[in-house]
Structure 1
Amino acid sequence: MAFQKANISRQQYEIYEALEEEMDRNSSHESVAPIYFPQELARTETLQKDLEHFYGQDWREMIVVPTATLRYAQRLREIGSENPEYLVAHAYTRYLGDLSGGQVLGRVTQKSLGLKNGEGLAFFSFPGVSSPNLFKQLYRSRMNSIELTEKQREGLLEEAVRAFELNIQVFEELQNLAKILEKNELRQRHKTHNLQTPDVKGNQSSAFSSSSTTSSSLTSTSQLLRMLLGVGLALALGIGIDLSEKIKTVTKEVHVRANGTELMQAFQRGNITLMQYKIYEALEEELDRNSSHESVAPIYFPQELARTETLQKDLEHFYGQDWREMMVVPAATLRYAQRLREIGSENPEYLVAHAYTRYLGDLSGGQVLSRVPQRSLGLKNGEGLAFFCFPAISSPNLFKQLYRSRMNSIELTEKQREGVLEEAVRAFKFNIQVFEELQNLVKILEKNELRQRHKTHNLQTPDVKGNQSSAFTSSSPTSSSLTSTSLLLRMLLGVGFALALGMGLYVF
């Protein structure tokens, strides 16, 4: 809501001023120089221009900069002096968001404030950038060319996280200030209303004029604060960024929900999945069928990414040729596969959302994820781990850059773009339903195992001659069968869950 009211930000000005002064000061630094584009990207002067349009030359004096904003600016000054390479993280998270979201955010601001002729919208304009998409490709290419030590790289990634945390603190503080001022407005309006009573001669109470001035002042200040909330918040949270980054953003809430389940524990036991096989089978058949579609073709890499055959191989290793007959596929998995078939026929561009959330998670997390089932199941020589291997990809990082570049080059209408983002959220929700259903099946089978073991234990009583009861022999196979089935189900929980939650997702 705060964003929809449109916001130009003194707080954002303070942050950009600090960032850009440090970028200028370190412009020849080996890590900063490749991504130093002051003529194309700098926002300080545009924010000045917009703030002057709305609030006049004295806009700086209208509001005290909150503590969180000062902390953010201080952090930028600090790394500019001590670790200039960390500026790359802040520049990336801000400028590419600004550049990608300029037109969208500008329209929202223009509409909500009734602005005309581009006045008050300088922040959203990039006259030095003729093609945002080409410029972003150049920026990423320059950024990926920066040579860093492992320690510097880790520090840079940590700084990117810190940048988002600092932004959240800034906007939470601003939100609180806006709420306080709005409460003051309501009190003042109530007071004004009570004082607007005619005297005996029918004149308004003289108190009205003074209270009206106060009310107007409060309204103006509160409006400014609401203005302060949006642009930077939108940038910090990823509003208006690349399609690949937007998908990460819109699915964040679902990530959090999924992380709240107990499925992570199941993954740690190590899992290969029939359910995931059914989902990948549907996805890859639809990608194959739509391989020449204008939205699918750029991200169609069957030789490099396809997982159906690797899942087949792993399942056959664990459970033999008849693994398909061991289980009935649950309803949630069937619904997921059905959805993939549906969009493959009606909206092939939506397949991009499912392919992105799965394959780049698979690729990024392969080595890390493979160690979990390898350790928990005692696997050797790579047997049962085909799902995690991508032999056709020599450099996962370079491939992900290529994939992202291809994905961001896809031309979509605004309606299609919104549909792809909604589909990404739907994909995560489908995954959660699949694994919640599997989790319930695991619990049921484990209860059955406990009952069977208890029954077996009771029947394992020696006869008069000291021999075991014959009932043990018959019950043992049943117990073994239940254990095997439950093991399979536990195996079924993890790989796809890890992928659905974005385990191993890249940062840049």
Structure 2
Amino acid sequence: MSEPIPFSTALRERSSGAHSGSEHAGFMADLLRGRGTRDDYVNLVAQHWFIYAALEAATERMRYDPVAAPFISDHLTRLPALEADLEFLIGADWRERIEPLPATVRYVERITQVGTVWAGGYVAHHYTRYLGDLSGGLYIGKVMQRQFGFETNGIGFYLFDGIADPAQFKTVYREQLDAAPWDEVEKERVIDEVLLAYRCNTELFEDLDRRRPERVA
């Protein structure tokens, strides 16, 4: 009799197509291949601020939830780094100069909704964002650093100074997913929410692509 597939493995396999589709959306593909501008990058950072403001507000609400708490680490917190990046990239008045795109508004609404009442949904968004940041995000940061001549200012979002070994951190995180007290129905709900999170991210890239001045409707 074959061993049951660990939940973390099932989650990764079931979401790999959505993850790949999000990563290769036109906006990000252009940005990573040198066809994006500094303004494109600044717009991405601005939208991240709205998303992580919602996610990290949900983290404070979920901090003592018995299901969500094992996944929460202050070493993952991104909001201060995003705010420092925006001040460097835009200026001290950055708060008055950014606004969420429609896809970002929908994304934030969903994070806020599940992050208020459903630990599994919160973990789904937490997983999608932070494990992505510790994987492809580290690569993106290096590409942006090289492409736009940044040192550390402007890419602080991608620097996890408190996590010495991202690979080991992700291994422990996946073990926590496997240990979560979810039955099969709840596991399916969590996977569905991860797929929704990737869809939200893809829609954000599509909105960012439409915002680019060279895109003519």
What is the TM-score when the length of structure 1 is the normalising length?
Answer: 0.39
Q: 1:436 to 1:324 in 2, by over 3 A?
A: same
- TM-superposition CA deviations, 1:24-46 (whole Å, max 9, x none): xxxxxxxxxxxxxxxxxxxxxx6
- Give the partner amino acid of 1:318: L
Cα drift, residue 260 of structure 1 = 5.5
CA–CA separation in structure 2 for the residues paired with 1:446 and 1:290: 42
CA–CA separation in structure 1 for the residues paired with 2:174 and 2:19: 21
Is 1:398 the counterpart of 2:168 in the alignment?
yes
Cα drift, residue 313 of structure 1 = 0.8
Cα drift, residue 366 of structure 1 = 4.6
Q: 1:283 to 1:447 in 2, by over 3 A?
A: closer
1:261 aligned to which of 11, 19, 25? 25
CA–CA separation in structure 2 for the residues paired with 1:288 and 1:341: 12
Cα drift, residue 385 of structure 1 = 1.6
Cα drift, residue 310 of structure 1 = 0.8
CA–CA separation in structure 2 for the residues paired with 1:397 and 1:327: 34
The residue aligned with 1:446 is 214
Would the aligned equivalents of 2:78 and 2:157 in 1 still touch at CA under 8 Å? yes
Structure 1 stretches of at least 4 aligned residues deviating more than 3 Å after TM superposition = 255-261, 267-270
The residue aligned with 1:373 is 144
- How large is the RMSD of aligned CA atoms in angstroms? 2.0
Gaps of 5+ in 1: 1-45, 47-97, 101-240, 449-508
Is 1:337 the counterpart of 2:102 in the alignment?
no
Would the aligned equivalents of 1:274 and 1:324 in 2 still touch at CA under 8 Å? no
Q: 1:338 to 1:247 in 2, by over 3 A?
A: same
Q: Count matched residues.
A: 208
Is 1:307 the counterpart of 2:74 in the alignment?
no
Would the aligned equivalents of 1:298 and 1:407 in 2 still touch at CA under 8 Å? no
CA–CA separation in structure 1 for the residues paired with 2:167 and 2:199: 27
The 5-angstrom pairing of residues 400-415 of structure 1 reads: 400-415=170-185
Is 1:99 the counterpart of 2:38 in the alignment?
no
Percent of pairs with identical residues:
31
Cα drift, residue 406 of structure 1 = 1.9
CA–CA separation in structure 1 for the residues paired with 2:23 and 2:146: 22
CA–CA separation in structure 2 for the residues paired with 1:366 and 1:256: 14
Q: 1:328 to 1:367 in 2, by over 3 A?
A: closer
CA–CA separation in structure 2 for the residues paired with 1:363 and 1:298: 17
The 5-angstrom pairing of residues 167-206 of structure 1 reads: none
Question: Bigger radius of gyration, 1 or 2?
Answer: 1
The residue aligned with 1:293 is 65
CA–CA separation in structure 1 for the residues paired with 2:57 and 2:137: 22
Would the aligned equivalents of 1:340 and 1:351 in 2 still touch at CA under 8 Å? yes
The residue aligned with 1:320 is 91
CA–CA separation in structure 1 for the residues paired with 2:137 and 2:11: 21
- TM-superposition CA deviations, 1:298-322 (whole Å, max 9, x none): 10102x1011111111111111121
Cα drift, residue 324 of structure 1 = 2.3
- TM-superposition CA deviations, 1:220-262 (whole Å, max 9, x none): xxxxxxxxxxxxxxxxxxxxx2222222222223234435632
Would the aligned equivalents of 1:277 and 1:311 in 2 still touch at CA under 8 Å? yes
CA–CA separation in structure 2 for the residues paired with 1:339 and 1:312: 22
Would the aligned equivalents of 2:7 and 2:178 in 1 still touch at CA under 8 Å? yes
Would the aligned equivalents of 1:277 and 1:312 in 2 still touch at CA under 8 Å? yes
Cα drift, residue 338 of structure 1 = 0.5
Is 1:282 the counterpart of 2:37 in the alignment?
no
CA–CA separation in structure 1 for the residues paired with 2:77 and 2:98: 23
Q: 1:446 to 1:262 in 2, by over 3 A?
A: same
CA–CA separation in structure 2 for the residues paired with 1:262 and 1:432: 9
CA–CA separation in structure 1 for the residues paired with 2:137 and 2:196: 24
The residue aligned with 2:203 is 433
- Give the partner amino acid of 2:70: P
The residue aligned with 1:242 is 6
The 5-angstrom pairing of residues 479-494 of structure 1 reads: none
- TM-superposition CA deviations, 1:405-430 (whole Å, max 9, x none): 22221101222111101000000001
Q: 1:447 to 1:356 in 2, by over 3 A?
A: closer
CA–CA separation in structure 2 for the residues paired with 1:355 and 1:261: 21
The 5-angstrom pairing of residues 59-98 of structure 1 reads: 98=2
| Helix, strand or coil at the partner of 2:164 | coil
The 5-angstrom pairing of residues 9-158 of structure 1 reads: 98-100=2-4
Structure possessing the higher relative contact order (Cα contacts under 8 Å, 6 or more residues apart): 2
What is the TM-score when the length of structure 2 is the normalising length?
Answer: 0.87
Q: 1:293 to 1:447 in 2, by over 3 A?
A: closer
- Give the partner amino acid of 1:276: H
Gaps of 5+ in 2: none
